């Protein structure tokens, strides 16, 4: 008898969140939450495009953002988003258990967002800009 895949429901502790998958040239962002439609967008890693990301998140009332601590690609994203007043979690990639199957940036950002809203993610230590 073939077993059906069963989706595990997550209780949501973050009302509106964003999961980011950051790379050298682009950032994939997935937002979801109470009162907003789930949506994924791709942004370039330029200051202008990252500022558009910040403005988009602010316009949706997103309060929390999570992203992997992959290389140094998270740093410019953090620098642009931080003044937006978001709670930002930079998460060790080993602490994020991905859904089995074909890996894509869109799936990664959606999974990070889902984990963020459910609450199990713990941010890594990020030194303040004043103390490099």
Domain boundaries, the chain: 16-118
State what percent of residues in the chain have pLDDT above 70. 70
pLDDT tens for 85-102 read 999 988 877 666 654 444
State what percent of residues in the chain have pLDDT above 90. 45
- Burial grade of 41 (CB within 10 A; 0-12, 13-18, 19 or more): middle
pLDDT at residue 99 in the model: 46
pLDDT tops 70 at residue 72:
yes
pLDDT tops 90 at residue 48:
yes
Element of type H or E holding 42: strand 36-44
CATH class of 16-118: alpha beta
């Amino acid at each position: 008898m073939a077993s059906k895949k069963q989706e595990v429901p997550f209780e949501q502790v973050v009302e509106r969140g964003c999961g980011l998958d950051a790379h050298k040239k682009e950032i994939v962002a997935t937002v979801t939450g109470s009162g907003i439609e789930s949506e994924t967008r791709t942004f370039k890693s330029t200051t202008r495009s990252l500022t558009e990301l910040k403005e988009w998140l602010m316009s949706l009332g997103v309060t929390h953002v999570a992203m992997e601590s992959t290389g140094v690609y998270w740093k410019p994203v953090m620098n642009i988003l931080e003044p937006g007043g978001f709670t930002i979690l930079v998460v060790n990639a080993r602490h994020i258990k991905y859904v089995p199957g074909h890996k894509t940036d869109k799936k990664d950002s959606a999974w990070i967002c889902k984990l963020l809203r459910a609450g199990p993610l713990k941010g890594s230590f990020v030194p303040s800009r004043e103390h490099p």
